[in-house]
């Protein structure tokens, strides 16, 4: 059974921002880790392309909605390629097959008696594509998230009978582990406790949407269509449109990773829709926090939005991945601070991890004919071997629970231990006496081997840096990605050999040639704001 995980399907009203990049990088780390664990992974991402917000954005740009969507979604694909995101699938909700899946899904929901006609009155935020709780009538207020006026709606729509699922949803959200991190559960429980109300799943007079079969003049509400995108993504291109096939293709998802603002849709509405369609429920929903910048909400009006393209060009993949995954506890809100960003990258990656490898391999090359020195006979009880095994155990546990920060810290501690060991043993002094040659060789071997472990353990978080480090050690790269990201026919197979084969102490071969050392991590020197 594949390990299926998803990012949200991103709106194509605008180019990707740091928020969507953050979710996608985190999912990439999970996907790479699970592949290395030997799981067959199906990592889904994509774009959510219908609805009024997108229709209006296209009109404002003077484009047809389809041309606009083609352009922006290609931008997403391109960006994820540049970040080396290892997604197995990229779903677009304007794909004709998706429309057929939505129709098949709706047919099941309607057959369950869960679709009724009703009058929808309320205040709507087009940017959220969501009705807000503001009392009916009166004057418009601003959406608290987008700070733009809500719009009044009064129309006859189709409703999904969410209220019928009150008991089942109460039980579901109370299940430990369904909503993570646990701090987010209370918020959803409170919402469910106020009593679930039926919600409208169609719109009238909205051409940019999927037509509702049997209900002329209605198109599907964008969220109804978008959530079903997780299912469309799983069907192989040659499959018939048969929802019963999903079980073989990787449904239910192990986890939907989302931002906290869209938790209700994933933890309440979506499970109820799936219950109605007699399909299994996702195992968990992880709601991560929001990023701010230097203490301020990021927004176009403030002109302080961090552009993922700029970050990539000026700082590179490793630096940004490291900062976001190592510094912000996944699940909490986090603040992007430029000074701290460059300090962490320079201290952790350039100095602690990079310089360790660089100076050790330089010494080994100089004193041991350019080769990995001989190891000591008692090597497996070496203090660094014990530290490496300890780090491995922590990384396994931390990555399994999406605690990227703890995993990163454990790897960093291992590198710090190796630096400490090297400083304590001071091979540069010992080497002054030829009698110490074997001891120096054994010390350098242990530190090089530790660097190899650091690189292997880093692979799911920083695949690029890991690869450069391994190359520096004359070691083959560890495959954690997929050959060609995107629309694969089948979920990715576990790469061979899986990483546990590389996590055994003493694999570095004494006598193997060490390549000329080059710094594996450039220091970040950011003279101007990003």
Inter-residue long-range contacts of 360-364, CB under 8 Å, 24+ positions, other chains counted: 360/422, 360/444, 360/447, 360/448, 360/451, 361/448, 361/472, 361/473, 361/514, 361/517, 362/517, 363/427, 363/428, 363/431, 363/444, 364/444, 364/448, 364/514
Choosing from 71, 290, 487, 494, the residue that interacts with ligand MSP (CB under 6 A) is 290
Q: Are 231 and 261 in contact (CB under 8 A)?
A: no
User: Does 130 sit near ligand MSP (CB under 6 A)?
Assistant: no
Residue number, 27 or 350, with CB nearest to ligand MSP: 27
CB of 261 to ligand MSP, least distance (A): 5
Binding mask 37-76 for ligand MSP (x = CB under 6 A): -----------x----------------------------
Residue number, 85 or 226, with CB nearest to ligand MSP: 226
Among 244, 200, 242, 195, CA closest to 224: 200
- The Cα 458–Cα 391 span in angstroms is 11
Choosing from 27, 58, 179, 291, the residue that interacts with ligand MSP (CB under 6 A) is 291
Q: Which stretch binds ligand MSP (CB under 6 A): 3-11, 67-75, 165-173, 465-473?
A: 3-11
User: Does 370 sit near ligand MSP (CB under 6 A)?
Assistant: no
User: Does 19 sit near ligand MSP (CB under 6 A)?
Assistant: yes
Residue number, 11 or 83, with CB nearest to ligand MSP: 11
Residue number, 276 or 480, with CB nearest to ligand MSP: 276
CA-based radius of gyration for the chain: 26
Which residues from 416-475 bind ligand MSP, rule CB under 6 A?
Answer: none
User: Does 404 sit near ligand MSP (CB under 6 A)?
Assistant: no
Residue number, 119 or 340, with CB nearest to ligand MSP: 340
User: Does 274 sit near ligand MSP (CB under 6 A)?
Assistant: no
Residue number, 264 or 437, with CB nearest to ligand MSP: 264
User: Does 394 sit near ligand MSP (CB under 6 A)?
Assistant: no
Q: Which spans in 39-95 are helix H?
A: 52-60, 65-82
Binding mask 205-234 for ligand MSP (x = CB under 6 A): ---------------------xx-x-----
CB of 484 to ligand MSP, least distance (A): 24
Choosing from 3, 10, 43, 251, the residue that interacts with ligand MSP (CB under 6 A) is 10
What the block records as the tokens of 134 is 């503001």
Among 528, 482, 81, CA closest to 308: 81
What the block records as the tokens of 340 is 């701290």
Contacts of 145 (CB under 8 A, 6+ apart): 125, 127, 128, 261
Contacts of 336 (CB under 8 A, 6+ apart): 18, 291, 292, 293, 294, 306, 323
Choosing from 70, 187, 239, 261, the residue that interacts with ligand MSP (CB under 6 A) is 261
Among 305, 330, 224, 338, CA closest to 15: 305
**Among all chains, which residue has been given the structure tokens 């070691």?**
475
- The Cα 458–Cα 18 span in angstroms is 22
CB of 329 to ligand MSP, least distance (A): 13
Q: Which stretch binds ligand MSP (CB under 6 A): 20-28, 300-308, 376-384, 506-514?
A: 20-28
Secondary structure of 292-336 as H, E, C letters: EECCEECCCCCCCCCCHHHHHHHHCHHHHHHHHHHHCCECECEEE
- Applying CB under 6 A, which residues contact ligand MSP? 8-11, 19-20, 22-23, 48, 226-227, 229, 258-259, 261-262, 290-291, 298
């Amino acid at each position: 059974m594949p390990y299926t995980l998803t990012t949200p399907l991103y709106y194509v009203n605008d180019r990707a921002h740091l928020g969507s990049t953050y979710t996608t990088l985190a999912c990439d780390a999970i996907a790479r880790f699970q592949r290395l664990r030997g799981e067959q992974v199906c990592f889904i991402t994509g774009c959510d392309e219908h609805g009024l917000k997108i229709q209006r954005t296209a009109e404002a740009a003077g484009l047809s909605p389809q041309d606009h969507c083609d352009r922006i979604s290609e931008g997403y694909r391109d960006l994820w390629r540049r970040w080396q995101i290892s997604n197995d699938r990229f779903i677009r909700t304007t794909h004709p097959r998706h429309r057929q899946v939505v129709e098949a899904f709706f047919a099941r929901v309607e057959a369950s008696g869960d679709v009724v006609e009703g009058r929808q009155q309320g205040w709507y935020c087009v940017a959220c594509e969501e009705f807000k709780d503001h009392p009916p009538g009166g004057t418009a207020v601003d959406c608290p998230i987008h700070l733009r006026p809500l719009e009044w709606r009064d129309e006859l729509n189709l409703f999904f009978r969410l209220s019928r699922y009150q008991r089942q949803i109460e039980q579901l959200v109370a299940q430990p582990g369904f909503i993570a991190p646990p701090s987010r559960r209370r918020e959803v429980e409170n919402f469910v406790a106020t009593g679930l109300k039926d919600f409208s799943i169609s719109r009238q007079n909205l051409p940019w949407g999927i037509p509702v079969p049997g209900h002329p003049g209605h198109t599907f509400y964008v969220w109804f269509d978008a959530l079903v995108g997780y299912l469309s993504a799983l069907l192989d291109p040659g499959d018939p449109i048969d929802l019963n096939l999903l079980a073989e293709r990787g449904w239910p998802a192990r986890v939907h990773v989302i931002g906290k603002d869209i938790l209700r849709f994933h933890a309440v509405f979506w499970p109820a829709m799936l219950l109605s369609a007699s399909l299994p429920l996702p195992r968990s929903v992880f709601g991560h926090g929001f990023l701010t910048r230097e203490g301020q909400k990021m927004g176009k009006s403030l002109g302080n939005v961090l552009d993922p393209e700029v970050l990539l060009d000026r700082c590179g993949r490793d630096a940004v991945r490291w900062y976001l995954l190592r510094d912000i506890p996944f699940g909490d809100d986090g603040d992007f601070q430029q000074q701290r960003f460059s300090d962490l990258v320079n201290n952790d990656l350039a100095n602690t991890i990079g310089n360790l490898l660089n100076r050790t391999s330089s010494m080994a090359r100089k004193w041991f004919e350019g080769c990995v020195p001989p190891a000591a006979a008692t090597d497996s009880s070496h203090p660094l071997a014990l530290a490496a095994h300890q780090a491995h155990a922590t990384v396994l546990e931390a990555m399994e629970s999406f605690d990227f920060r703890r995993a990163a810290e454990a790897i960093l501690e291992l590198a710090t231990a190796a630096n400490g060991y090297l400083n304590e043993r001071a091979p540069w002094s010992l080497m002054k006496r030829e009698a110490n040659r074997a001891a120096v060789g054994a010390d350098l071997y242990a530190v090089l081997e530790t660097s190899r472990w650091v690189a292997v353990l880093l692979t799911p978080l920083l695949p690029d840096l890991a690869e450069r480090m391994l190359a520096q050690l004359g070691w083959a790269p560890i495959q954690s990605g997929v050959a060609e990201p995107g629309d694969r026919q089948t979920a990715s197979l576990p790469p061979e050999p899986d990483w546990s084969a590389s996590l055994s102490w003493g694999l570095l071969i004494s006598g193997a040639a060490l390549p000329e050392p080059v710094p594996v991590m450039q220091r970040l020197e950011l003279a101007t704001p990003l």
